[in-house]
Amino acid sequence: MKITKTQSLANRAHIVETASELFRERGYDGVGVAELMAAAGFTQGGFYKHFASKADLMAEAAANSLSQSLSDTGGLDVAEFINVYVSRDHRDGRGSGCTMAALCGDAARQSDELKATFASGIENTLAALEEKFKAGNDAPQEGTRAKMIDMLAHAIGAVMLSRACPDDSSLADEILDVCRAEIIASLPHAHESQEST
């Protein structure tokens, strides 16, 4: 039985969503096409009806998850974003967490197309953080982009370092706690943000 175009698009979206989660959990080299398609509930043969290559799926899955991560944090101010991002829940939820924290190291060894997808996602995240920072801050706005780059790199690095430690390691929590406190303290009105957490 031939499937409709609507069903084909829904199948593709499901494959992208499944791939996005598996790639974040295991890295780009940690999951093959056959396993990915089985996890999505399809046969391996159906893969090439939707994608020209695994690299094409990697780029689409990255774009999808980077966009989703951004929309998931849309209602948070900068301090709230840091409290959620640099947390044990985010650290432990690799498959549902931020694509940058899960896959930046892998992306650095991939194609320019995938790197461009990450660069776009990073730019969009920085723009959203800049907007939130400016909206919730009466302090001078000079240097906002540099501050957001520093803050995002610090937050991503904290999650990556914590994930490199064993799950039951006290160091994993210490890295998150110290980095979260330092980032929050560097924000204007930090005392107000810390009092509310």
* Residue 72: pLDDT band with limits 50, 70, 90: confident
Q: CA–CA separation, 36 vs 33, rounded Å?
A: 5
Q: What is the pLDDT of residues 155-195, one digit of tens each?
A: 999 999 999 999 999 999 999 999 999 999 998 764 444 44
Q: CA–CA separation, 114 vs 60, rounded Å?
A: 9
pTM above 0.85, yes or no: yes
Per the CB < 8 A criterion, the answer to whether 144 and 133 are in contact is yes
Enumerate domains of the chain plus CATH numbers. Answer: 52-195 (1.10.357.10)
